[in-house]
Chains A and B, each alone.
Chain A
Amino acid sequence: MTLADTGSGETVRIVEIKAGRNVRGRLLGMGIMPGSEVRVLSGGRGGPVIIAQNDCRMALGLGMSKRIVVSRMDPDARETE
């Protein structure tokens, strides 16, 4: 499933980013890469999303959210900070 399929309140782990090198590179610099954990704050349900990572908030447009493959995180398995 992709970020566009998530709903607000969910925590997901990024599995794959289906985009070209440039886009992946930009996301990388912002800390978004396979393995990252992000919280979905709003959006999803087929559209653009706002995600949170630590104290950062980022908005990903429709085209982008559909290209980030994620997996839901089991809340019990999440590492404590």
Chain B
Amino acid sequence: MKTRIFRGSFAVVTALFSAMLLWAVLSLVFMPRWEEVVQSALSEEMLYSIRLSLLTSLISVAIVMVLAVCIGYVLARFAFPGHQVLRTLVDLPMAFPELVLGLCLLLLFGHGILSQWLKGFGINIVFSQAAIVIAQVFTAAPYAIRVSYATFRGINPRYELVARSLGYCEFSAFWHVTLPLAKGGLFAAMVISFARCMGCFGTVLILAGGTRMFTETLPITLYLNISYGNLAMAMTSGIILIAISLGAILVFELLNREVML
């Protein structure tokens, strides 16, 4: 009897939450009129927004993956004073609200030594399209680093030692053994990063500003059009974001079996 109550209560909670989640997602898909969605999707603003979101996200993912591989490997393999501090530090942005992270980046790139130094080269990051990439990188990197760290930690360091005993230097052993063994985990990190970059809103809004047809990524389009009361455009950008996220998960699932060892 107790077992049935235990199992039943857990099943009810699971079913209720899943139903609410599905209902919320389906509301976005079924509420708008489809001719309005098509019209909004083909509008100049939306096409600009999709192009900018994809371009900045792809650049950001490339940067994030370089960071994730380097930092994940350092954390997984090297013992040094301050190891735990570094781990906490790179995890920190995950705990921050995006708006706070954006504010921190605004202070870093908008005021102080770094911004002055960059301005010396004629580079102004704040409220530029480059700021979108920076915002996305800082938002997505902690997730990718965490996955990459776990992946490298899961690979027995003796593989590298064997490779080195066979004549490979430290970098060659990493390149020819560790990296291929990590490709499943790194691919997962890439997909997660892409989804985070595409959906990055608060950090982009603060650092890059929400300028229409300039720093307008899909989440910004959603926000701006909600502000103007243009519900059709807002819902369309929401649907496109969901479609891209689902697409990313689908690609991950499809390729995962081949990629994972």
Partners in one complex: no
